[in-house]
Amino acid sequence: MSLRGFSRRRLLGAAGAGTALVGAGVAGGYLAGSSGAEDPAPGQATVPFRGVHQAGIVTPAQDRLHFVALDVTATGPILRPAVVALLKRWTTAAERMTAGAEAAPGGAVNRNPAAPPSDTGEALDLPAASLTLTFGIGGSLLDKLGLPRPAALAELPPFQRDQLDPALSGGDLCIQACADDPQVAVHAVRNLVRTGFGTTAVRWSQLGFGRTSSTSTVQQTHRNLFGFKDGTNNLKAEDKAALDEHVWVPASEGPPWMTGGTYLVARRIRMHVETWDRTSLTEQESLTGRTKGTGAPIGATEEFAPIDLTSPLIADDAHIRLASASSLGGVRILRRGYNFVDGSDGAGHLNAGLFFLAFMRDPQRQFVPMQSALARHDRMMEYIEHTGSAVFACPPGLADGAYWGQPLLEA
Ligand SMILES: C=CC1=C(C)c2cc3[nH]c(cc4nc(cc5[nH]c(cc1n2)c(C)c5CCC(=O)O)C(CCC(=O)O)=C4C)c(C)c3C=C
Ligand SMILES: [Fe+2]
């Protein structure tokens, strides 16, 4: 029986999502880095909402995304209490939905029929589908609250060939919803957005499909819309030392509310797939630095073979050379992006691309040098265009009873 089914909803009752839902998460859920050997049937899995780190970062990347950036519309003396109240409501609803329950007790059909339902209903009867909800804070919200921005949350500099649309960039808050069912991800975002009415307004949002990064060694590498395996040389959940080095903010770096958290860089990258499709296979592989079939580095046969950067077969302006840790003094990032197709552009082209999401300890020291090198020298830039950009601070995971943003707002 689905957690969203009638029996389950009655079982949870009006008050007690907390204990029951945490239990459901542990019983049926993935633990970060688990082997997957005991995974429940597809769609039935739950990912624990609380923990040391937020879910949706190193937990196995699901296949679908709905990402939303919001602005806080409350101002003046009510700003801070309104944000605190909203984050408490969001946390309660998010924890319920990640466990497969409706956004609020009573839900879609079991409340006063003369009042709007407390859940919009489109996920009734659907299981949790590994839903994760990951929350981030934009530097602009800290400015509004009169709180200092961590240096890592400074605005990104302009990069060569950026074509950023302000309407697809920035935001005071973000929520990343990932699930193995698009309807579950959309339902979660819609219900959180609805809960924010009067305090927040949607600034921009992005749907994604076909994860372009694996975040665990048990996952297969999927393909981007250029047809190449993407995520082969990504950081993986199993490499905890690398995550500590490149992803999680250590206590020594501060501020205290970010210890165990990470920063998210989001870039909406349009891919000119029609131009790409008129490019020879040899050129496609040469500018990527990998073969299209197996994903192996050019000159090797296995996908996960080490990249020999002394080889002249990997061109100086190949994507994987320019983005590699050895070309960037050891810099690495955790990629977690998705493909998108937002219809067409009215000029006979698909409005398609990669919604690039990456988590890192300090965007200024990691994303900035990497993207600077790519923007200047990457031959792939002839086929792509960065049209949206945002950076968010993603605080650490929640202990029992805590709400999203609490260490920041109650410091
Ligand atoms: C600034 C960071 C990066 C952007 C922006 C980016 C865009 C982008 N990438 C691809 C396709 C592939 N990227 C691959 C590897 C790769 N990409 C980045 C960073 C950015 N990519 C890194 C750090 C790496 C790994 C480099 C390494 O050390 O080997 C690959 C190869 C497979 C893999 O390892 O993932 C592909 C393919 C596209 C299409 C794109 C923009 C649309
Ligand atoms: Fe890349």
For residues 104 and 97, is the Cβ–Cβ distance under 8 A?
A: no
The pLDDT tens digits for 188-230 are 999 999 999 999 999 999 999 998 888 889 999 999 999 999 9
Q: How far apart are CA 249 and CA 256, in angstroms?
A: 10
> Is the pLDDT reported for residue 339 higher than 50?
yes
Q: pLDDT confidence of 367, banded at 50, 70, 90? A: very high
Does pLDDT of 331 surpass 90? yes
pLDDT the model gives residue 42? 62
- CA dist., res. 333 & res. 310, Å (int): 23
Using CA atoms, how far apart are residues 107 and 301, in angstroms rounded to an integer?
Answer: 53
Average pLDDT of the residues of the chain: 91
12/5 Cα distance (integer angstroms): 11
Best residue among 292, 319, 370 to mutate for probing ligand 1, ranked by most atoms within 8 Å of CB: 319
Whether 363 and 265 have beta carbons less than 8 Å apart is answered as yes
Average pLDDT over residues 347-369: 98
CB 96 within 8 A of CB 109: no
Please state, in angstroms and rounded to a whole number, the distance separating the CA atoms of residues 55 and 307.
31
Which of 5-9, 251-255, 280-284, 354-358 is the least confident region? 5-9
Q: Which residues line ligand 1 (CB under 6 A)?
A: 224, 226, 228-234, 267, 269, 271, 288, 290, 307, 319-320, 323-325, 333, 354, 356, 367, 370-371, 374, 384
The span from the CA of 169 to the CA of 165, in Å, is 6
Question: How much is the pLDDT for 214?
Answer: 87
pTM of the model: 0.92
Instruction: Give the percent of the chain with pLDDT over 90.
Output: 87
Q: Cα angle vertex 87, ends 366, 47, to 5°? A: 65
Mutate to test the pocket of ligand 1, among 230, 263, 357, 365 (most ligand atoms within 8 A of CB): 230
pLDDT tens-digit series, residues 100-121: 999 999 899 998 999 999 999 9
Which H or E run contains 267?
strand 262-271
**Whole-complex ipTM:** 0.99
